[in-house]
Amino acid sequence: QVQLVESGGGSVQAGGSLRLSCAASGVVFRFSTMGWYRQAPGQQRELVGLVNKDGNTNYADSMKGRFTLSRDYNKVYLQMNSLKPEDTAVYFCNAVGYRDVLFWGQGTQVTVSS
């Protein structure tokens, strides 16, 4: 059974940094794409960024320049700098597997205080 496990969330003051990690288990193939989404209270889940197996990245406009994705096979990391209160959300790891099947982690809370 494929599982994505996130870690690294927490509370930080505005302007601070956090690094999220996501590791996959129970998978025998390489995900084509991995990345992160986030969901703030009362809002829809939105894209943070994606990285493909070649290391090419794609970010949501509001994250460009502040967030950096990196990947090591079936692990994906999100370095978040210059955090703002509006970055407060649950962050979900995402992976695209064989035949475009989507996998999701359970989410990790990020809280940014002003």
Q: Which residue has the tokens 């943070």?
A: 48
Pick from 72, 79, 74: nearest CA to 8: 79
End-to-end CA distance of the chain: 40
Query: pLDDT tens digits, residue range 67-94?
Result: 999 999 999 999 999 999 999 999 999 9
Is 100:85 a contact under the CB 8 Å cutoff? no
Cα distance between residue 43 and residue 17, in whole Å? 23
Query: pLDDT tens digits, residue range 8-62?
Result: 999 999 999 999 999 999 988 899 999 999 999 999 999 999 999 999 999 999 8
